[in-house]
Amino acid sequence: MTTSHRGFQVRQHKPWKLWAALGLIVILLALFFYLGRSYQGYELRHLQLERETLVSRIADLETRNSGLVQKNAHLEGSSRIERDAYELASQELAKLQQQLLAQKEELVFYRGIVSPQGAALAVNLQSFELRPKGVANQYSYKMILTKSGKSTTKVRGGANVVIRGDNSGAVKELKMTDLRLENPGKANKFAFRYFQVFEGDIVLPEGFEPFEVEIGIKPTTKKVKSFSETRSWTQVLSEGV
């Protein structure tokens, strides 16, 4: 039996294929690199364009907001000016109304003083008013007496004021001279040619509920008659207001 021996086989090496493969790989890598750079540049330009657009919109919005702020400030300023002018006009109107009221009161007062010719000599109760002082049971009072008749004649006499009220279910009378905070017990003497004003403060006792005031005028001048008037507590308080 004969055995055949094939021996060593020698194959021819072809290096160009290796270089070709390497070149192809390099080309592909370069292509991918340039494509990546191009895409990256495109994305960057796109982002820059979006950023510029946003910056432009922000600048426009800031401009519009600044304009609105200035417009609002102008409107507020105009409104404030109108409001201040209205308040000033209201204050001036209130002052004029107070002056007019004071003039009317003075006119009524002087009309009470000036008596017609031939009028009988007499004492008149021009007004009597009370005002709360803001302290419990304390009041300020003001009484004005005027005269009719001859202006050269002086009238004399005294005024007696009595306050009536309820005290524990019983009617009680209090003389105002006994209630005065200053000069207690001193009579309201008068002596005048045209008018006389009585003013002062009184304090009412605890538990005393006033309901009326009686003012008695007793002249000592000859031919001048005495008289008395009774007014409700509500009336004299409203006259004070």
Residue 5 counted as domain residue: no
Check whether residue 211 and residue 143 sit in a common domain: yes
Can you give the pLDDT at residue 93?
73
Check whether residue 163 and residue 66 sit in a common domain: no
Determine the Cα–Cα distance for residues 37 and 70; give it in Å rounded to an integer: 49
For residue 101, what are the domain limits?
17-113
Determine the Cα–Cα distance for residues 157 and 134; give it in Å rounded to an integer: 33
Give residues with Cβ within 8 angstroms of 201, minimum separation 6: 133, 138, 139, 140, 141, 180, 181, 182
Task: Let me know: does 118 contact 151? Beta carbons within 8 Å.
Answer: no
φ, ψ at 116 (rounded to 5°): -65, 160
Determine the Cα–Cα distance for residues 220 and 191; give it in Å rounded to an integer: 10
Can you give the pLDDT at residue 87?
77
69's enclosing H/E stretch is helix 15-113
Task: Say how many Å lie between the first and final Cα of the chain, rounded.
Answer: 157
Domain at 226, CATH number: 2.60.40.150
Can you give the pLDDT at residue 119?
73
Can you give the pLDDT at residue 81?
73
Task: Let me know: does 192 contact 152? Beta carbons within 8 Å.
Answer: no
Ranges in the chain, pLDDT < 50: 1-2, 5, 8, 10
Check whether residue 157 and residue 60 sit in a common domain: no
**CA angle centred on 112, ends 109 and 114, rounded to 5°:** 110
Residue 76 counted as domain residue: yes
Can you give the pLDDT at residue 8?
46
Determine the Cα–Cα distance for residues 165 and 171; give it in Å rounded to an integer: 6
Check whether residue 62 and residue 156 sit in a common domain: no
Short-list 209, 207, 225, 206, CA closest to 217: 225
Can you give the pLDDT at residue 92?
74
Can you give the pLDDT at residue 221?
93
Check whether residue 64 and residue 31 sit in a common domain: yes
Task: Let me know: does 226 contact 216? Beta carbons within 8 Å.
Answer: yes
Check whether residue 104 and residue 65 sit in a common domain: yes
- Segment 62-72, tens digit of pLDDT: 777 777 777 77
